[in-house]
Amino acid sequence: INTCPVKIEDESLVLAIARDTSVRKKAEEALIRSERLKALGEMAAGVAHDFNSLLAIILGNAQLLEMGVESYKSEEIKERLKIIIRTAYKGGDTVRRMRLFTRTELSTRHFSKIDLNEIVRSAIASTSPRRRYEAEAKGVTIKIKEKLGKLPLLLGSRSELMEVFTNLIFNAVESMSEGGEITIRSEAKENEILLYFTDTGKGIPDTLKDRIFDPFFTTKGPKTLGLGLSVCYGIIERHQGKIKVESIKGKGTTFTISIPIGRQSPSGEEQL
C-alpha cells in the first residue's frame, strides 16, 4: 500500500493505492521451483550418465573374465581386475565430489591454521609429473612462475584448498595446447588474502564465462563429469571466500580467489 497527501478544495486528504502482489509472488516462487527442478534434473542426468559409463566398464571386464577365466593368463586376469578396481575408485570419487558440491553448511571441525603459499607450492609440485607428460605429448613447453607475497596464517582445510589449486593448475595446462606460462601470485590486502592463477591459454568465450561454475557444465566432452570448478566454488564459499574469473579469448584467463583473514566461526567468536 502506497500513500501520499493530497489537497482537494482546501481539504487535506490521504490518497492510498493498494496493489495485490500475491500473483507476482506466486509467479516468482513457481519460477524458483522450476529452476531448482531443472538443476536437479541436470544433476541427476549427469550422475546417471557417468555411472552408466563406469558400470559398463566394470560389467564388460567382469563378463570377459567369466567367459575366459580358464584361457586367460594370470597377468591378463590381474590387468582386468585392476581396471575394475580403478573404475570403482573413480565411481567413489564421483560420489565424493557430489558430496562436496551439495554440502552447503560451513563445517570447521577439520579446519586448522594453514599457510596458503605452502599449499600453492605443494600443488605445483604434485601436478609437475602430469604437466610434464602432457607438455611432452603435445611437443610444447609449459612454465609456472611463482610470485608469492608474505601471507598471514588463516583457518581452513588444507586438503580442500589443495584440490582447488590443483584443479586450477590442470585447467590452465589443458587450455594451453600450444604451450605457455602459468603465473600464480598471492598477496595480503587489507582483511583478505588474494590468490591469482593466470594462464596464457586460449581463454574462455564470453558466452561461457557465466556458466563455468555450474555443476556438470563442461567443454571437454564426455571424458569429464564437469564438477571440477563447481566443487572449487563450493570449497571457497565454505571458507567464506569468493572465486571469480576474467578471461580474454585467445589471450588467457585469470582466476581470482579471495579469502578473509579474520574468518569468523559460526558462533561469532574470532578464530584467529
pLDDT tens profile 143-169: 999 999 999 999 998 888 988 998 899
Identify whether residues 124 and 256 lie together within a single domain.
yes
Task: Give the C-alpha distances (Å, rounded to integers) separating 19 from 22, 24, 61.
Answer: 9, 11, 66
pLDDT of residue 192: 93
Assess whether 96 and 202 both reside in one domain: no
pLDDT tens, 101-123?
555 544 566 788 999 999 999 99
Q: How far is CA 160 from CA 219, 230, 236, 258, 262, in A?
A: 24, 13, 9, 15, 19
The answer to whether residue 211 is domain-embedded is: yes
What's the number of domains the chain is made of?
A: 2
Specify whether 251 is located in the same domain as 155.
yes
Within this chain, do residues 186 and 242 fall inside the same structural domain, yes or no? yes
Same domain, 69 and 129: no
Instruction: Inform me whether the pLDDT recorded for 203 exceeds 80.
Output: yes
Judgement on whether residues 148 and 244 belong to the same structural domain of the protein: yes
Taking 3-state DSSP, the helix, strand and coil percentages for the chain, each rounded to the nearest 5, stand at 50, 25, 25
Range of the domain at 199: 112-260
Q: Cα–Cα distance between 61 and 49 in angstroms, integer?
A: 19
Quick one: 120 and 248 in the same domain? Answer: yes
What is the rounded distance in angstroms from the CA atom of residue 38 to the CA atom of residue 90?
26
What Cα–Cα distance (Å) separates residue 85 from each residue in 28, 61, 81, 88?
A: 47, 11, 6, 5
Q: Among residues 68, 102, 136, which one ends one of the domains? A: 102
Calculated CA dihedral for residues 41, 42, 48, 51, nearest 10 degrees: -150
Backbone angles phi, psi at 110, to 5 degrees: -105, 15
For 236-251, the pLDDT digits (tens) are 988 899 999 999 888 8
Distance in angstroms (rounded) separating the CA atoms of residues 116 and 168: 15
User: How far is residue 185's CA from residue 198's CA, in Å, rounded to a whole number?
Assistant: 8
Residue 1 lies in a domain: no
Across the chain, what does the average pLDDT equal?
79
Residues 90 and 154 in one domain: no
Report how far residue 191's alpha carbon sits from residue 238's, in angstroms, rounded to the nearest whole number: 17
Tell me what percent of the residues of the chain surpass a pLDDT of 70: 72
Which CATH number does the domain housing residue 211 bear?
3.30.565.10
pLDDT at 22: 72
**Highest-confidence range of 169-173, 184-188, 189-193, by mean pLDDT?**
184-188
The answer to whether 172 and 230 have CB atoms below 8 angstroms apart is no
Q: Are residues 142 and 246 both part of a single domain?
A: yes
| 10 Rama class: left (phi>0) / alpha (psi -120 to 50) / beta | left
The domain boundary, picked from 36, 68, 102, lies at 102
Q: Is there a single domain that holds both residue 76 and residue 201?
A: no
Q: What does the pLDDT read at residue 269? A: 42
